[in-house]
Structure 1
Amino acid sequence: MSQLNEATSENLAYLLEEIAKKLKVVNQAILDPEDYDLNKYNQLKLLYDVLRQKGQLSVSETQAFIEELASIRK
């Protein structure tokens, strides 16, 4: 996905799917693309980039990412 810098609905859905995989989210409903505004795409992209760069996340890091996602939701 080389065009992730564009804030599109498709890219938003992709980012959320990849974030869910990395965080091993059980409740996928918290990452429903309908719950996120494209205006906040850059914040999600930043989280995605950080997650890609990090290796294994600790429990507290995972919790922090989930809390950040919650703050970005509509």
Structure 2
Amino acid sequence: MDLSNKTQENVEYMIEGIKTKLRMASGAAMQSSSFSIEQYEDIQDVYEVVMSKPTLSISEVEAIASELGRLRRK
């Protein structure tokens, strides 16, 4: 997937990847359609951090979930 293009499809791809990596039980609460292309760079930053780590601590998961909550459309 070419993430250099700012598309809603790429936003959805990254959100789904983050949810899978975090094994979020509440994945339904974090629907990719809730995120706007306007936050593309921030979402991509979160995606790259999540994907670069082999494992995440509980506090990292909480921080990422909090950041994604901040980035969601109001």
TM value normalised by structure 2 = 0.91
Percent identity of paired positions between Structure 1 and Structure 2: 32
Q: Cα distance, 1:30 vs. partner? A: 2.9
Q: Cα distance, 1:46 vs. partner? A: 0.5
CA RMSD of aligned residues (A): 1.0
Q: Give the counterpart letter for 1:43 in structure 2.
A: D
Q: Give the counterpart letter for 2:27 in structure 1.
A: Q
Partner of 1:15: 14
CA contact (8 A) 1:36 1:73 kept: yes
TM value normalised by structure 1 = 0.91
Structure 1 segment 1-74 matched on structure 2, within 5 A: 1=1, 3-74=2-73
Alignment gaps of 5+ in structure 1: none
Q: Cα distance, 1:19 vs. partner? A: 0.2
Q: Deviations over 1:40-61 (max 9, x none)?
A: 0110000000111112101111
Q: Cα distance, 1:65 vs. partner? A: 0.4
Alignment gaps of 5+ in structure 2: none
